[in-house]
Amino acid sequence: MGDIWEGLVEAVKLIFSFDPYVMRITLFTLYVCAIATFFGMLIGVPLGSVLALYRFHGRKFMVTLVNAGMGLPPVVVGLFIYLLLKRRGPLGFLGWLYTPRAIILAQIVLAMPLIAGITMAAMQNVNPKLRLQSKSLGAGEVRSTLTLLRENRLSLVAAVIAGFGGIISEVGAAMIVGGNLLVNGEPYTRTLTTATVLEISKGNSTSAIALGLILLAITFILVWVMTLIQQGTLLNHPARLARSLMSRRRKEEPA
């Protein structure tokens, strides 16, 4: 128990002293997760929408793939990406193995099905007549789909939360394809999760606890912000405040 308490105190000191090593790993983790979530959304949201709104040959197979993808083990994804990117693999010529790009690629593969699957489920739950209504008011295929996505923004934010949460906490794929490397003493492919595993294996529980705490804090803050966006409080509150100030000013003016 004493070790844990000591570890916690040390961890807090490490965080608030803005230790360069810890800061770099944290920023690198945010960087790869943000890019992977962005690309996961870029592919997942349209894919989920198409699967929900259109009927075509092979749709069922694709739905099965997306659903299966939602439960992909990160280690298996890491292994698969490793086999693709290794020097003699089909994509070996890219030279991406043990680079941040490899981690991003693996994380896109992990996040995309989560985002596509949740988008698909949400879009399927919308009254199909809403799209007809949108079309009958002049929206084409794309704009009527965008309208539906906007109607579903709560679920879309949930999809992004799920995608981001899924990749920021995974360690297997990042470890396999990134290699947890330091280059010239600087973290190169070291994420918060891979660094935590390394610190534990070295018996350095203070650093491991610090990294773990940072990971928890980041996940909590980002999910909290996204939840505020989802529930409309973050964006609506300032707008509502501005509106109320404006109307108060208008009322005061004649007086």
Partner 1 sequence: MSSFLRVEGLQHAYGGRQVLDVGSFELGEGEIIAIVGPNGSGKSTLLRILNLLEEPTAGELTFWNGVRLSTMTRQEKKELSGKMAMIFQEPLLFKRTVRANVAYGLKMHRVAKEERNRKVQEIMERLDIEELAERDAMTLSGGEAQKVTLGRALVLEPRLLLMDEPLASLDVPARKSLRADISRLVKEMGVTAVYVTHDYHEVLEIADRLAVLLDGELQQVGKPTEVFGRPATEGVAEFLGAENLLEGEVSACRQGMADLDIAGINIEALCEEPPGSRVKVLIHPEEVVLLAGSGDAGSARNRLPARVSDVKALGALVKVDLDCGFPLIAYITLASREEMGIERGRRVTAVIKATSIHVLPYVGPGA
Residues lying near partner 1 in the complex (CB under 8 A)? 127, 129-130, 132-140, 143, 147, 150-151
Nearer Cβ to partner 1, position 12 or 132?
A: 132
Per the document, the length of the chain is 255
92 DSSP 8-state letter:
G
Kindly state the smallest distance separating residue 48's Cβ from partner 1, in Å: 19
CA distances from 36 to 67, 130, 157, 245 (A): 19, 32, 15, 40
Task: Reduce the DSSP state of residue 127 to 3 states and report it.
Answer: coil
Nearer Cβ to partner 1, position 64 or 247?
A: 247
Nearer Cβ to partner 1, position 142 or 255?
A: 142
Nearer Cβ to partner 1, position 125 or 127?
A: 127
Which pair of structure tokens corresponds to residue 45?
A: 């949201």
Note whether 39 and 234 are within 8 A (CB).
Answer: no
Kindly state the smallest distance separating residue 71's Cβ from partner 1, in Å: 31
Kindly state the smallest distance separating residue 132's Cβ from partner 1, in Å: 6
Helical residues (DSSP H) of 86-204, grouped into ranges: 100-124, 128-136, 141-151, 153-168, 172-178, 192-201
Tell me the residue type at 55: R
* CA torsion through residues 132, 134, 137, 143, sign: negative
What is the rounded CA–CA span in Å between residue 252 and residue 255? 5
Nearer Cβ to partner 1, position 87 or 129?
A: 129
Kindly state the smallest distance separating residue 123's Cβ from partner 1, in Å: 14
Nearer Cβ to partner 1, position 9 or 132?
A: 132
Kindly state the smallest distance separating residue 129's Cβ from partner 1, in Å: 5
CA 184 to mean position of chain CA atoms: 29
Kindly state the smallest distance separating residue 62's Cβ from partner 1, in Å: 23
Kindly state the smallest distance separating residue 244's Cβ from partner 1, in Å: 12
Nearer Cβ to partner 1, position 34 or 228?
A: 228
Return all residues near 190 (Cβ < 8 A) that are at least 6 apart: 25, 28, 178, 180, 181, 182, 198
| Rg from Cα positions in the chain | 22
